Structure 1
Amino acid sequence: MNYSVLLAFIIYIALMIGTGLFFYSKATTVNAYFLGERKIGPYITSISTQAADMSGWLLMGLPGAIYIGGASAAWVVIGVVIGTYVNWVVIAKRLRQYTRVAGNGVTLPSYFRYRFQDEKGWLSIISSAFILVFFLFYTAAGFVAGAKLLGTVFDMNYYNSLACVGIIIVAYIFAGGFLVISWANCFRGILIVFSIAVVAVGVVMNLGGFSEFVRAANDVSPTMFNMFETIDGEAVSVIEIITLLAWGLGYFGQPHILAQFMGIESPSKIKISRRVAMVWTVVTMISVVVVGIAGRVYLKTPLSETTAELVYAEMVSTMFPGFLGGILLCAILAAIMSTTDSQLFVSASTFTYDVYRVFNKKATNEDVLWMGRWAVIILVAMGCSIASDPDRSVLALVEYAWGGFGATFGPVIIFSLFYRRMTAKGALAGIISGGLTVTVWEIASKIFPNVEILSLYEIIPGFLISAILIVVVSRCDEKPTLEVLQKFDAYKYCDI
């Protein structure tokens, strides 16, 4: 065992748990625990949001895909950059303003309930159900990635590694809630962008500079940098390109990302956050592409399709042995935990705030706080159960959950902010149709693998069907009440 690497991991984990304990005394109210009392600064918000976005996919799934497919897999990078930018420009400020005006909701289901005056609570219950189901698959991806990482670095049994990841995450979320997640994710975001950039620059310099890197990569495959052909020279289909670009659509419906927008201290600070977030995203995306391609040149032992997700870890172990390598490997755990803890927390918040509190109307603030903490433990156990199969693909799990959230909530969020005539029934139709379309499309693609159209990313049909039904059902429904319309007309002027 490399004790320098072990020391780096111990220091990192101790910092995370210490941060949770520090914020324990500050998360004493429902608003503080679930949304940090909307007092998170713009720089913390920007980096925390991007760290929560990327997950282990950033340093495992994506570089693995680039390693296998070369630049032809980089269409997803374009989709991610565009989706990130549009989400910050179009959604972030408006959602922060509307959630403040519409009942000061701290979760997406509570925002829907107040936005549409859903007195019966069907919007809250059904949207909560979709959040809990899709997040179980998403968090499972994080547990799989974390278990694979610890198993590789410390030669641990997969199931022991899985248990360690679960215990670490529970330890600090249980204590500090949204505050600890925001601050911890900011630290992790800095670690992630530093680490991936260091490895990208380091491998290019090791290969003799950028021109030598390009030459060596072209020697491996003349189509290495061709976005329209794979490394093997096969043409990339239009459906494949659209599928990869469509990852950008998913941003509008990710509860763990949208929660960060809701928690910023002021709508006026969104512009600062957006600029920082875009710099972070562009630097990390370029670095990941370089690392994935350089892995083909630098690593002496080729990786298979099943081990390609470890290309970053293998390059770190080869180039940076010792304590620095341990820090750079911690970035993978940071990426995994930054998304997994955000997702678990949003799931726990949703269950507690929008399900438990609805059915237990006599629950005190203290009851709600402790139920939120215990919900984290339950959800971690369920996520670990789904992740118990070590052969599960991190990228495949993320792809399904990302598409599910994007189609289920993306159109509803967009229309709720821009469509004055939208009604509760229209929102409900959009949520149900988007979520079910993604699930049915995914199942159908497995049953009929030779039907080409079913290889299209399920977020696309789900998003379109949801958007259409939102408009059709809302137009057929009674007009929103005067109070709902007045809030819609006024929300864009909110600056608190």
Structure 2
Amino acid sequence: MQPVHVLILAGYVLLMVLIGAWFSRRKAIADGEDFMLAGRSLPAPVLAGTLLATFVGSGSIIGGASFVYTYGPVAGIFFFAGTVIGIVCLYFMATKVRRLSHHTIPEMLEVRFGRPVRVLATVIILVAFVGITAYQFTGAGSILSIITPLSPAQGTIVAALLITFLALGGGLKSVAWTDFVSVVVIVVALVGSLAVVFIADVGGIGGYVDRLDPALTSLTGTLTPVQLLGYFLPLFLLILGDQNMHQRLASGRDEGTARKATIGFFGGAVLLLGTIILLASSSSFLLPDIEPGQAILGLAGTDLVPIGIGGLLLAGAFALIVTTGSSYLLTCSGNIVYDLVFQRRGSARNAQKALKLGRWAVLAVTVFAYVLGQFFPSVLALQMYAYTMYGVAITPVVLAALFWKRATAWGAIAGMVVGGVVTVAWESTGRSADINAVVVALPLAVTALVVGSLLTRGKTTDGAGAGTREQTTEGAHTG
């Protein structure tokens, strides 16, 4: 335990708490709209920062670093390419997503497909996002165990409490601004660590290439192409249909702000993920005996980086994970409030009730996420399960709702049910350690969506609303 690291972490946690307290004032958070969508007031830099921080949490700092440490930098590029390519696609979707301005993904699906689709989508999203929240708790707890005398289990509890506080207080306004500050710190820490390690310890690009294990320099590392595809697809599918991404784009000041923020998101992701790949792969020969999940964070506890940069690295990574966890707590809360209770926008009284219920929902999701996190052996394993569940069962239906006019409610239901059931069934067999469930589940889910839609043209489920009335969707919740 380094006293300097503890002081830096304590100062950073205090800053996050103060930001959360500032935005929890009654003046800042008046109703559910402020709580979930920051009053649609976020400027482009803050929006870009919160997009980046939401997607680059413990799944990248710990899970992604573990993957790169184990399989090599080239395989790591394929792993993270799903994020980068997904952001490019998201850029072209940004204007439409901001124009629709829904609270949640199921809310948008109901306008297109009807209420049964909304309810089913809500259940699947909660299953997936509670899993993502769970590994933020675990990841942040792991960092606390490095910096402080706390055990990983104790650190997880402390992290869960802090994450819950930020989500309960100022909602998305609080989370977005803490995201922005966290991204600035983690970029400085990661780039600074990379510069020091490469110059002083690795010996530049030449030394990096010479010292890297030849087994890790092939195109797919030690994985087969099918296995590598199983890691690429979950990230790609998640970012396209991620409710967090859609909510943040909807929280921008206008459509132009959403597109500008997506450009900043892309640049920040390339910088951060590239740095993670180089640092984690360097750790494979600088720290050959370390646990893979500590490939980057473990550098802070050695003499490979200056103590100040190491402290910033740990504090920034912790803050990034904390705000990512808060984001997913918020989005789960939004599903409970707007998709299960207040399915129609109503009076100011309902808006106040939505705010109160949203905070109670945050507490409930915290408990479920903590319990779920106890059943997975690693951050990477939980990450792949959660990403696959969402990407297979939800993303194809979201894309069909936005861009395929022939999609029907029955097709959407078929796609979600097949995708979710196959994912759970494949995970339960234990085969996901060899081939990720997405490789099997995605083709079956898309086939069910397409075939189901083509066979049920002109038919609706009970309560189905608009069919293919996309113009209604676009006009229903504008600005």
User: How high is the TM-score relative to the length of structure 2?
Assistant: 0.90
Within the alignment, does 1:227 sit opposite 2:211 as a pair? no
Cα pair distance change 1:485/1:244, threshold 3 Å: closer
What is the CA deviation profile of residues 165-218 of structure 1, one whole-angstrom value per residue up to 9, with x for unaligned ones?
011111121111111112211222222222222211211011364234324424
1:253 to 237, 241, 249: 241
SS at match of 1:207: helix
Please state how far the C-alpha of 1:46 moved relative to its aligned partner: 1.7
Offset at residue 489 of structure 1 (A): 8.1
Provide the aligned length of Structure 1 versus Structure 2: 469
- Which structure 2 residues correspond to residues 453-492 of structure 1 after superposition, within 5 A? 455-475=434-454, 476-478=456-458, 485=468, 487-488=470-471, 491=474
State the match for 2:335 in structure 1.
Answer: 350
Instruction: Please state whether the residue corresponding to 2:326 is helix, strand or coil.
Output: helix
2:185 to 183, 191, 194: 191
- Partners of 1:343 and 1:292 lie apart in 2 by 26
Alignment of 1:163-178 (within 5 A): 163-178=157-172
Question: Are 1:113 and 2:113 matched, yes or no?
Answer: no
Structure 2 unmatched ranges of 5 or more: none
Does the CA contact (< 8 Å) of 1:7 and 1:323 recur in 2? Answer: no
Cα pair 1:252 1:409 within 8 Å, conserved: no
Aligned position for 2:59: 57
Deviations 1:127-171 (A, max 9, x none): 111111112221111111111111122131233212110111111
Report the counterpart of residue 225 of structure 2 in structure 1: 238
SS of residue paired to 2:394? helix
User: 1: CA distance between counterparts of 2:330 and 2:450?
Assistant: 32
Judge conservation of contact 1:438–1:458 (CA < 8 Å) in 2: yes
Asked if the contact 1:63/1:289 (under 8 Å) is kept, the reply is yes
Q: Is the 8 Å Cα contact of residues 237 and 391 (structure 2) preserved in structure 1?
A: yes
Structure 2: how far apart are the matches of 1:54 and 1:145? 12
Partner of 1:13: 13
**Paired residue type of 2:229:** I
How far the C-alpha of 1:483 sits from its partner, in A, is 6.2
Go from structure 1 to structure 2 and tell me whether the alpha carbon gap of 1:486 and 1:159 turns closer, same or farther (over 3 Å shift).
Answer: closer
Say if 2:90 is the partner of 1:84.
Answer: no
Q: Any conservation in 2 of the 1:239–1:455 contact (CA below 8 Å)? A: no
What is aligned with 1:46? 48
Call closer, same or farther: CA 1:165–1:208 in 2, change over 3 Å.
closer
Q: Report deviation, 1:422.
A: 2.4
User: Does the CA-based 8 Å contact 1:58-1:335 persist in structure 2?
Assistant: no
SS at match of 2:296: helix
Contact 1:59/1:335 (<8 A) preserved: no
1:385 and 2:387 equivalent? no
Q: How do 1:403-482 and structure 2 match up within 5 A?
A: 403-444=388-429, 446=430, 455-475=434-454, 476-478=456-458
1:323-369 alpha-carbon deviations (Å, 9 max, x no partner): 44222111221231232111111001111121132599997322211
Change (3 A) 1:482 1:432: closer
Q: 1:81 to 1:483 in 2, by over 3 A?
A: closer
Q: Matched residue of 2:269: which SS?
A: helix
Contact preservation (8 Å) 2:58, 2:136: yes
**Which residue pairs with 1:146 in the alignment?**
140
Alpha-carbon displacement from aligned partner over 1:366-415 (angstroms, at most 9, x marks no partner): 221111111111211221222246x7200110111001111111111111
Residue aligned with 1:226, SS: coil
Residue 281 of structure 2 aligns with which residue?
293
Q: Aligned equivalents of 1:483 and 1:215: distance in 2?
A: 57
Q: Deviations over 1:438-479 (max 9, x none)?
A: 2122223x1x68xxxx94332243333332333333332316
Residues 33, 39 of structure 2: 8 Å contact kept: yes
Which letter does structure 1 place at the counterpart of 2:90?
N
Distance 1:371 1:495 in 2: 24
Evaluate the alpha carbon distance shift between residue 130 and residue 468 of structure 1 in structure 2; reply closer, same or farther with a 3 A threshold: same
C-alpha distance in 1 between matches for 2:283 and 2:346: 56
Letter in 1 for 2:392: A
The structure-2 alpha-carbon separation of the partners of 1:42 and 1:461, relative to structure 1 and needing over 3 Å to count, comes to farther
Alpha carbons of 1:361 and 1:493: their partners in 2 closer, same or farther (altered >3 Å)? closer
8 Å Cα contact 2:466-2:472 kept in structure 1: no
* Aligned twin of 2:272: 284
**Counterpart residue number, 2:300:** 316
Per the alignment, do residues 494 and 34 of structure 1 end up closer, same or farther by CA in structure 2, a change over 3 Å counting? Answer: closer
- Distance in 1 of aligned mates of 2:440 and 2:325: 27
The separation in 1 between residues aligned to 2:95 and 2:243, in whole angstroms, is 15
**Alignment partner, residue 96 of structure 1:** 98
* CA-based RMSD: 2.7
Rounded Cα–Cα distance in structure 2 between residues aligned with 1:484 and 1:68: 47
CA contact 1:407–1:460 (8 Å) conserved in 2:
no
**What SS is found at the alignment partner of 1:156?**
coil
Q: Counterpart of 1:257 in structure 2: which amino acid?
A: M
Structure 1, unpaired ranges of 5+: 231-235
Within the candidate set 329, 336, 351, 2:314 is matched to: 329
1:424–1:482 Cα change, 3 Å: closer
Task: Look up the match of 1:233.
Answer: none
Q: Secondary structure at the match of 2:72?
A: helix
Q: Sequence identity, in percent?
A: 20
CA distance in 2, matches of 1:365, 1:150: 37
Deviation at 1:76, TM superposition (A): 0.4
Moved more, 429-438 or 23-32: 429-438
